[in-house]
Amino acid sequence: MWFFPSQLAHKRYWSPTVIVASATVALLSADTYAAPYFNHTKVFSDFNGAFGSNVTGAETIAIPTALYAIGLQRRDSYMQQTALFAGEAVADSEVLRAVLNTVTARWRPQDIYRQRNYADTFFHSASDVGSSFPSGHMIAAISVATVIARRYREHRWVPWVAYGLAGAIGFSRISLRAHFPSDVFLGTVLGYAIARYDVLQNQ
């Protein structure tokens, strides 16, 4: 994944890269309108209680762990391998996320008070809860979801459940004021790409 920029010399990579970059820029512009709404509403208080940061972080770890334990008990090597792939995908995506978070040093919505400009959020001192761009919860959740959805795609309900749960986690990051929509979008794209085209390549 670290050598992907060199692949841009091949024209077949131009289109998806331009689409993702354009969508991210568009969402960055929309952040200034979306973030103030979530900073001043209590509509999602019950949802936020069920999808708190600690809960969703634990779920992302617990699902592959439980999958491996069940596979071990059942002597199901395919299930064990799926859990290991999910763990690898999370590890790879978290390394990339940490690098991007450090470089971009973006404030989170909850860091921004009324006197601050929502359009000026990058390259500041990191907040007490870390940098925002991209979303660490989302990049990990979608990595796990993609591995499980791809490996068990013959069961039609599995992708729906996997991506549905990941989507709920992604929305919770916005409603909890932990991330901007653009943070969640980029986390989704990166998590999917790493799991699908790096970890699961030729699998």
Tell me the pLDDT tens digit for each residue of 57-99: 888 899 999 999 999 999 999 999 999 999 999 999 999 998 9
**Does pTM surpass 0.75?**
yes
Highest-confidence range of 13-22, 24-33, 116-125, by mean pLDDT? 24-33
Tell me the domain boundaries of the chain: 11-111+123-199
pLDDT confidence of residue 92: 92
| Helices and strands: H and E segment counts in the chain | 8, 0
Q: CA nearest 39: which of 105, 113, 104?
A: 113
115, pLDDT greater than 60: no
Candidate CATH numbers 3.30.1490, 1.10.10, 1.20.144, 1.10.287; the one for domain 11-111+123-199:
1.20.144
DSSP E strand boundaries for 135-200: none
Distance CA 153, CA 84 (A): 17
